[in-house]
Amino acid sequence: MALPVAFLIFPVYGDSVSEIVAPVTELTEEHRLAVLKGLGALDTDSDPSFDRLARLAAALFAAPRAAVVLVDRDRLWHKASVGLPRREYDRAGTLADRMIERAETLASPDIGCDPRFAEFHDQLTQVDVRFFACAPLKTPEGAVIGLLSVGDPEAHPPATPVQLAALADLADLAMDKLLNDARRLANERGQRLDRQRRDLALKAGGLGEFEWDMACDRVVLSEDMRSLTGVKGLSLDADQGDAPFRYVHPEDRESLKSEIEQSVRETGRYIAEYRIIRPDNGEIRWMMGAGALVLDDSGGGRKLFGVVQDISGRKQVEEQRETLMAELDHRVKNVLAAVQSLAAQSARRARSLEEFLPAFSGRLQALAQAHQLLTETRWQGASLLSLVSAELGGLGRAQACWTGPDLFLTPRAANALSLALHELATNAIKYGALSTEGGRVRVDWRTVQDGGFELDWAEAGGPVVEPPTRRGFGSVLLERITARELGGVGQMVFAPEGLRARLRADQGALTESAAETPAAQTPSERPLVQPPPGMSLQGPGVEGLRLLLVEDSTLLALELESGLVEAGATVVGATGDPDEALSMAEADIDVAVLDVNLGGRLVTPVAERLAERGIPFVFATGYGEQGAPQGFNAPVVRKPYNIQQIIRAVADLVRPASDDPVSPQL
């Protein structure tokens, strides 16, 4: 038995069947289905508006059946219907395909007696009506997504033009409603998506939101806003806008209120930073607030909405940065004062310029070594073992040895002890045990009962020691360093068999160990050229070598170039520009000296090109070995350096001496 279907629409107003099935659109079926799906009307709840349209269509023809039919891929789905038991039927066995192709308002008084449908009648297995009329549900683009259909198991008189026009109007109303519903759904989806984006942005930015309704004078707070500020309750009485200021820090309250009022008055919005006191725990937090005013039709304020962000972390970083800048300024001034003092004291006790330069340079090196060790621990202090190793690490075990607990010194004590050890080492190299091959130095230190430490320096195997005829800067420095900087005393004994010195420091010179203390004498993949200051460097020279000098400090570049030329080398090119240096790297050279940081740009591309050409090079850096580019087997000379260190590093690269027992890791 045939099933009752609302899709019982057959055209009678055509001259032939070919007219009925002739296509009127070039839209593909896939495009039509995509349009239908995009409307979002399939499988939705009943809608009174569509129910009314179905009832009107049935009443228009005095028929028992009518439906608003949406034609899906394999089914007919009724958005609304009259006189039909189901909402869904198979698409096969109906006139759906032909009516979609025709896309016109059509009617047939009795399809069973209409010879124009005789050849299709056997295929209409879903059709059990005789009278039938329909109008297409057509989008503005011409896609027929369904039909408004009417049917009756009994035959009807022919439909009048007025009835057909009315049916077409009802179909247009149905289509308009579908389109409006689709727009509404799209807007709702867009609004949901906007809310999700907004919520995501607020959450990612750590923002809370608020809204002040000026008409009812209430402030509504989001959950995140309540969490950020510690204010309880979903809303609170705004008290004409004064309520939120109750939580602002008293020192910021009046200035913030004035700033917001002026900004809103002039621009309709504001952004400000201020402190609040959380009402739940009394904690002071920094906030950044921003808001905008919504006006009513008369131009007055209707709502003020905005966001608040906790910026306490940022403020803490800014304060730390300012503190660090002030501390850096203080330390730079202290370093400059120390350098000025070292220069003045070295000059007063030097007999000539030739005597002054190495002495002053060596003391600067000692100061730089101490600063490097302090930098590695972020100025928490420095290991005593590291200080001794830095000063004597370039000597062989037969010449220098040391032992003692790894005590940790304060920054002030570390600087002082580094200078003291330098003076002792320099004196030993120039006049004492280290001035001969058989001489040796032993350094021992230990803690004492008052919480401080003692350090003994003992020389042996050198020339016979005679007491000095005058007090040099080193002696004065040792006495005053131990008294003022280490809080102790210093003693020097000029025994014939060798100089002995004892430095005693109080507990104020020591501090707790840092989390990361630089290890003393850690083997390195690359030699760190940092000899004991003042040590005479023996070995091959640089005579006849062609050098590329890459250094962005003009004064330092001039000094290096002059020193290398005096030593017999030829400086083929000198530049502080990375691009120019890369071009010069193609020149005929034997070796290069590369400053690591050239005005904020690394010298790595130049090093890579030189490595490709097989040309050795030396890195020069003020950052220590960690600051040099990785992946190169090149020695590192740490700033500040002297020309002899550069000469030694360059010479060892190009002309290593087979009989030289000293490692370049000095």
CATH number at residue 504: 3.30.565.10
Residues 529 and 664 sit within 8 Å (Cβ to Cβ): yes
Output the average pLDDT for the chain: 81
In this structure, what token pair is assigned to residue 598? 């050239």
Residues 48 and 61 sit within 8 Å (Cβ to Cβ): no
Residue 363: pLDDT band (50, 70, 90) is low
Same domain, residue pair 68 and 176: yes
Q: How far is CA 250 from CA 247, 255, 559, in A?
A: 9, 10, 60
Above 60 in pLDDT, residue 387? yes
Residues facing 146 on adjacent strands: 70, 137
Residue 15: pLDDT band (50, 70, 90) is very low
Phi and psi torsions of 51, nearest 5°: -60, -40
Residue 519 has a pLDDT of 44
Same domain, residue pair 370 and 501: yes
CATH number at residue 557: 3.40.50.2300
Question: Within 10 A of 496 (CB to CB), how many other CB atoms are there?
Answer: 9
In a domain? residue 664: no
In a domain? residue 560: yes
Q: Which of 46, 49, 110, 98 is nearest to 71 (CA)?
A: 98
Same domain, residue pair 417 and 399: yes
Same domain, residue pair 51 and 104: yes
Residue 428, domain extent: 332-522
Q: Which of 619, 605, 604, 609 is nearest to 589 (CA)?
A: 609
In a domain? residue 174: yes
pTM of the model: 0.45
Q: Which residue has the higher pLDDT, 525 or 625?
A: 625
Question: Within 10 A of 132 (CB to CB), how many other CB atoms are there?
Answer: 29
Q: What is the mean pLDDT of residues 79-90?
A: 92
User: CA–CA separation, 108 vs 94, rounded Å?
Assistant: 15
Residue 342 has a pLDDT of 62
Scanning 42-124, the segments in alpha helix (DSSP H) are: 48-60, 96-102, 118-121
Write down which residue in 522, 541, 576 finishes a domain.
522
Same domain, residue pair 283 and 223: yes
Above 50 in pLDDT, residue 166? yes
Above 50 in pLDDT, residue 662? no
Residue 373 has a pLDDT of 62
Question: Within 10 A of 610 (CB to CB), how many other CB atoms are there?
Answer: 25
Same domain, residue pair 298 and 373: no
Residue 9: pLDDT band (50, 70, 90) is very low
| 320 burial type by CB count under 10 A (0-12 exposed, 13-18 middle, 19+ buried) | exposed
Same domain, residue pair 43 and 125: yes
Same domain, residue pair 170 and 271: no
Q: Which of 500, 503, 460, 499 is nearest to 478 (CA)?
A: 503
Residue 63 has a pLDDT of 96
Q: What is the mean pLDDT of residues 257-283?
A: 92
The single-letter DSSP state of residue 465 is P
**Stretch among 44-58, 229-243, 313-327, 527-541 having the lowest mean pLDDT:** 527-541
Above 50 in pLDDT, residue 450? yes
In a domain? residue 355: yes
Same domain, residue pair 393 and 476: yes
Q: What is the mean pLDDT of residues 635-660?
A: 75
Same domain, residue pair 590 and 553: yes
Above 60 in pLDDT, residue 147? yes
Q: Which residue has the higher pLDDT, 340 or 330?
A: 340
Same domain, residue pair 393 and 480: yes
Q: What is the mean pLDDT of residues 425-440?
A: 85
**Stretch among 111-120, 454-463, 624-633, 651-660 having the lowest mean pLDDT:** 651-660
Residue 190 has a pLDDT of 84
In a domain? residue 193: no
CATH number at residue 302: 3.30.450.20
**Stretch among 171-180, 279-288, 474-483 having the lowest mean pLDDT:** 474-483
In a domain? residue 533: yes
Above 50 in pLDDT, residue 134? yes
Write down which residue in 185, 217, 235 finishes a domain.
185
Write down which residue in 522, 541, 571 finishes a domain.
522
Residue 284 neighbours by CB under 8 Å, 6+ apart: 249, 275, 276, 277, 278
Same domain, residue pair 59 and 175: yes
Q: Which residue has the higher pLDDT, 81 or 468?
A: 81
Residue 607 has a pLDDT of 93
Residue 361: pLDDT band (50, 70, 90) is confident
Secondary structure of residue 92 in the 3-state scheme? coil
Residue 598 has a pLDDT of 85
Q: How far is CA 112 from CA 17, 131, 154, 197, 532, in A?
A: 15, 9, 11, 59, 116
Q: Which residue has the higher pLDDT, 16 or 103?
A: 103
**Stretch among 108-122, 233-247, 298-312 having the lowest mean pLDDT:** 108-122
Q: How many domains does the chain have?
A: 4
Handedness of CA 46, 52, 54, 59 (dihedral sign): positive
In a domain? residue 412: yes
Above 70 in pLDDT, residue 538? no
In a domain? residue 192: no
